[in-house]
Amino acid sequence: MAQQTNKISLKSNKRLKFIDMARSIAILLMLEGHFIEHTFKDFKPMISSIKENGKSSSLLFDWWYFMKGFTAPMFFVVTGIVFVYLLAKNEELSLKNNPRIFKGFKRVIELLLWGYLLQLNVRYITNTFHQEHPWIFAFHVLQSIGVGILFLILIFSLYKILNIGALYLYYFIAGSIIFCFYPYLKSLDEDVFLPTNTPEIIQNIIHGPKSVFAIVPWMAFTLYGGMIGALIIKFQDYVKKYWFAILFILIGLILNIFARDIGILLDDILDILHLEFKLIKNAWLYGRLGQVIMVIGALMIIEISMNFKADLLLKIGQNTLPIYILHVIILYGGIFGFGLNNILKHSLNGTEAIIGAIIFILLFVIFIKYINVIKRLFYSLLEAIHLKK
C-alpha cells in the first residue's frame, strides 16, 4: 500500500523539489558568476594564470572558477531531467495526444526566438549584420537548450514508434554519440568551420566562429539529463529512498574520479578495433556530469530528510527563463545595447565584485518574490494602452 501511495504521489502534478532546488542553484551560480566575470578587474590575468600554471594567486578565486564551470552542465542536465520527467509521465498516451509534445515544441520556438533576440543590439543596429562574424548569429545557451529539447522530443518519438527497449537507453546512446564527436571537433583549427559552405548561423550550431554553446558537447548534457528523467520515472517507487539517492552520489563520484581512466580504457579497446576517437579528451565532460549527478543525489537526500519549505528558493528554480532574459538585458545590455557591463566592466576589486554579486542576486530574488504582482501590473498596463487606442 505504501508503494502504491508513493507511486501515485510521483504520478501527480506535484513537482519533485530536488529538481527545482538544482535549477535554483544553477541560476544563482550563473548570476554571481557572470557578474564577477564581467566586473572583477583581475579576472583576465587570473584566468591566464590558471591556464598556464594550473592555479592563480588566490585559492578562493581558483575554487570560484571551478564552480563557475559547473553551472552550465548543471543547467543542461536539469533541463533534460525536467522535460523528460514530465514527458514520460504521459508515456501511455499517443504522441499526438501527449500535451508535453506540443508544449515542448512551443518551448523550443520560444527559446530560439529569445536566444537570437537577446543578441540583437538596437543601439548599434546598423552594424549588426556588417561585422566579420555577427554576434546576432551566435549559438548561445538558450538556442542550445532549445535544440536539446527538440532532440529530446525526437528521440522520445522514435522510442514510441519502435516500441522496443528502455527510454533511458535511447538517451544514453544519443548522449554518448554526441560526446564521441567532441575530440574531433576540438582538434580542428579555430578557422575551420563546419558544415562548410553554409551560413554562419548554421555553422555556429556545430563548429563556427560564434559557437558559444555548440550542440557538441553541450546537447549531450541535456540528453543525459533526459536519461536521468527517464530513470526517475522507471524507478519512481524508489526516488524517495535513501539508497537511491546514495546510488546517484556513488555513480557521480565514480565518474568524477575515474573519468580519465575510463577514457584511457575505452581508447585502448577502440585501438584494438582500429578506431581512433581519443575519448581521453572527454574526461572533463564526464567529470562534470559526475559532479552534477552527485549534487542531484545530495539534493534528493535533502528532500527526503527535511521538511523543505523554502518556497522562494523553489520559485526561483521554476522561473529560470525570465531570470536569464532579464539578467542578459541588465548586465550585458541585450537588445537595447546598454547595461551594467558598459559602466562596471573589469573595474571592481575583489571585495567590491563580491558585494556587487550579492546585491545583483538579491535584486533577482526580489524580482521572483513579486513576479506575479509584476506580471499583473504589466498586463494591466498593456490593457490600459490598448483601451486608449
Q: 262 pLDDT exceeds 50?
A: yes
* 145 part of a folded domain: yes
* 3 part of a folded domain: no
* 165 part of a folded domain: yes
* 360 part of a folded domain: yes
* 125 part of a folded domain: yes
Give the residue-averaged pLDDT of 319-344: 95
Q: How far apart are CA 33 and CA 300, in angstroms?
A: 25
What is the per-residue pLDDT for 389?
A: 60
* 363 part of a folded domain: yes
> Could you read off the pLDDT of 88-133 as tens digits, one per residue?
988 888 899 999 999 999 999 999 999 999 999 888 887 778 788 8
Going by the DSSP 8-state scheme, the letter that residue 331 receives in this structure is I
Count structural domains, the chain: 1
Per cent of the chain over pLDDT 70 is 95
* 225 part of a folded domain: yes
CA 219 → CA 93, 216, 280, 329, distances in Å?
26, 6, 19, 25
Residues 6+ away with beta carbon under 8 Å from 333: 121, 123, 339, 341, 342
* 9 part of a folded domain: no
pTM of the entire structure? Answer: 0.92
Domain that holds residue 163: 16-388
Q: How far apart are CA 48 and CA 183, in angstroms?
A: 23
